[in-house]
Amino acid sequence: MLGTDAGHPHHWKKKMARRRQIYEGKAKILYEGPEPGTLVQYFKDDATAFNNKKKGVIAGKGVINNRISEYLMTRLSDIGVPTHFVRRLNMREQLVREVEIIPVEVVVRNIVAGSLAVRLGMDEGTPLPRSIVEYYYKSPDADKPLVTEEHITAFGWASPQDLDDIVPMALRVNDFLSGLFLGIGLRLVDVRLEFGRLWEDEHMRIVLADEISPDNCRLWDIKTNEKMDKDRFRQGLGNVEEAYQEVARRLGILPESGPRDLPGPKAVQ
Ligand code: TMP
């Protein structure tokens, strides 16, 4: 293939266009990385809710989530939490280690909200006596169902040993992020994490994967209880872009002058 392109005036463009897409999700695209064992994670502005029933675009979200996730993954790595994150490449892309994603979403909750409020008929905002860990199976066919450790180990989505790594890591991430967000006037209501198996020679270790951003956690302002996360989109509360920007601004990763300083390229593919 390379040979036929040699000397062609559009050689470079063609090569870029041919970058292999590994996977396209609702909010991100994964491309083959520059070296074996790496992937490029591209952040889109697309947003979905209620398992794809609601679709929309949050202008600039990809740029902001790329930054927020870079920042949080780096801080977590600083305290010894292993993650797939390597480095940010540009406005919308980051380099990550290629992992085998465990098909279970791990949700850690500190305050009743969302599906827990509905399922148990409890008031949103009720503080939980302790953090609760829940698992949702990333079923290819059904809406992600709530499952127990029994289902996870029986169907082999993760082993008991994997869960022995995952649960303390999820709680540690939740504790660290709760403190970090509290410091900038935000309450971490809940957070959804994904983990992957990273293979190094014969060894496997479990690392934090995917992203951490207002797309997959709930953040409420300490003083006003205002929602500063994707619930603004899910519930049609308006000012979605502004909320994401405010989170980034408080984290100190958005210039005070605002998002115009982050003119994300439309498409980098
Ligand atoms: P839930 O209350 O709707 O179950 O959501 C719990 C947390 O998980 C919340 O922070 C939003 C996040 N989440 C995702 O990241 N992806 C999803 O598909 C769902 C349903 C929730």
The CATH code of the domain that includes 236 is 3.30.470.20
Query: Hey, which of 146, 216, 217 would you mutate to test ligand 1's pocket, going by the most ligand atoms within 8 Å of its Cβ?
Result: 216
Give yes or no: residues 33 and 63 share one domain.
yes
Is 50 exceeded by the pLDDT of residue 237?
A: yes
Distance 16 CA to ligand 1 centre (A): 34
**Stretch among 146-150, 187-191, 252-256 having the lowest mean pLDDT:** 252-256
Give yes or no: residues 125 and 213 share one domain.
yes
Using N-to-C axis directions, what is the helix angle for 61-78 and 160-182, rounded to 10°?
110
- Please tell me the total count of domains within the chain: 2
Q: How confident is the model at residue 127 (pLDDT cuts 50, 70, 90)?
A: very high
The per-residue pLDDT for range 156-179, each reduced to its tens digit, is: 999 999 999 999 999 999 999 999
In a domain? residue 85: yes
Closest ligand 1 atom to 231 CA = 11
Is 50 exceeded by the pLDDT of residue 8?
A: no
Return the CATH number at 34. 3.30.200.20
Query: Hey, which of 107, 110, 230 would you mutate to test ligand 1's pocket, going by the most ligand atoms within 8 Å of its Cβ?
Result: 107
